[in-house]
């Protein structure tokens, strides 16, 4: 088996650590470089102690622009463009960026939402991985948008765990703030709305609905729960059939016919979706793990697609369930 020589740039944070946990067990991956400016010289297992016995690599601040087949970029938002200008990789190297920088599909990047763009991802050399809230919201609403069901405003709430704020500590990510607490941030203005609207316009050229998104900080470490609803004249059975048809070839997005909970998705690359009709509204729930399907797991899914591998390789994970 020819293995894919792979580098992870910016591997000290939460998403970088999740990437390493997946890649060290990926049968087709040869992890040749684990990069971090802040942790250079340290063993990976010192920074991510759960990888003791799984990874003997040492963090480096050197960037291997030659001899790698794939590069994951886990840099802070706004830094990827400058990094790529300073470190030009081979045109044959597959670059998967987890920042917001190229989610507008500029500079030759393809937006990496497999449920919508699988064919493009399979031939792409540059892939912009979706944001976590963007993934949960898009997968909740994509079939409805594609079928033209939203005629007015769409109401959306989303609750995310504290790991969604990143590893760098801030006022609202302290345990003493998050514990037994909940708060709203970026009301109706969340940055992920741009990429969501971009996808919805690609799915339906007539899409013009207002997305009224209320993001919440949750008092748990990982996971995202999305609720979306809008007036709907059809039946619940019609909606269920449309959702099942839309995702019939999706490796990780599953339509549940019974009530769902977030722990079904946490620690997996799944998106679990449930639809129901109440009071003239179609109500859709979706649940994902913000670090996996919302970030690193989806990045590995895109890696598999870009190298012609089966989508689920390295991603057969179990939920924590309870």
- Catalytically active residues are 132
Alpha-carbon distance of 9 to 88, in angstroms, equals 14
Give the burial string for 245-254 (b: 16+ CB within 10 Å, else e): ebbeebbbbb
Read off the tokens for 6: 């792979």
Task: Name beta bridge partners: 288.
Answer: 224
Read off the tokens for 169: 């500590």
Count Cβ atoms below 10 Å from residue 308 Cβ, excluding itself: 8
Alpha-helical runs (H) found in 72-127:
80-86, 114-123
Number of continuous H segments (helices) and E segments (strands) in the chain? 9, 13
* 295 secondary structure, DSSP code: I
Q: Residues 6 or more apart from 237 whose CB is under 8 A from it?
A: none
- 72 burial (CB, 10 Å; 0-12 / 13-18 / 19+) is buried
What's the Cα-to-Cα distance from 272 to each of 112, 148, 232, rounded to whole Å? Answer: 19, 22, 21
Instruction: Look up tokens 């697609």; give the residue.
Output: 305
Beta strands in 174-223 (DSSP E): 183-184, 211-217
């Amino acid at each position: 088996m020819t293995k894919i020589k792979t580098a992870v740039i910016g591997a000290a944070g939460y998403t970088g650590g999740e990437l390493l946990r997946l890649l060290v067990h990926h049968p087709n991956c040869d992890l040749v470089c684990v990069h971090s400016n802040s942790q250079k010289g340290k063993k990976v297992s010192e920074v991510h102690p759960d990888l003791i016995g799984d990874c003997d690599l040492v963090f480096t601040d050197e960037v291997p622009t030659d001899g790698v087949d794939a590069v994951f970029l886990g840099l802070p938002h706004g830094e990827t463009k400058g990094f790529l200008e300073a470190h030009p990789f081979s045109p044959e190297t597959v670059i998967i960026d987890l920042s917001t920088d190229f989610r507008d599909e500029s500079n030759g990047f393809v937006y990496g939402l497999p449920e919508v763009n699988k064919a493009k991802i399979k031939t792409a050399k540059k892939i912009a991985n979706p944001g976590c809230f963007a993934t949960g919201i898009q997968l909740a609403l994509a079939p409805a948008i594609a079928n033209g069901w939203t005629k007015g405003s769409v109401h959306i709430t989303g609750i995310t765990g504290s790991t969604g704020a990143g590893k760098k500590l801030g006022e609202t990510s302290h345990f003493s703030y998050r514990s037994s607490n909940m708060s709203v941030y970026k009301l109706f203005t969340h940055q992920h709305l741009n990429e969501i609207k971009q996808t919805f316009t690609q799915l339906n050229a007539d899409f013009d609905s207002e997305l009224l998104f209320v993001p919440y900080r949750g008092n748990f470490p990982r996971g995202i729960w999305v609720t979306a609803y809008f007036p709907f004249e059809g039946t619940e059975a019609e909606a269920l059939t449309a959702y099942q048809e839309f995702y019939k070839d999706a490796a990780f997005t599953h339509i549940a016919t019974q009530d769902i909970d977030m722990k079904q998705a946490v620690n997996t690359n799944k998106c679990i979706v449930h639809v129901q009709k109440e009071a003239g509204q179609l109500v859709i729930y979706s649940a994902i793990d913000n670090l996996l399907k919302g970030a690193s797991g989806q990045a590995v899914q895109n890696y598999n697609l870009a190298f012609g591998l089966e989508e689920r390789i390295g991603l057969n994970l179990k939920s924590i369930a309870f």
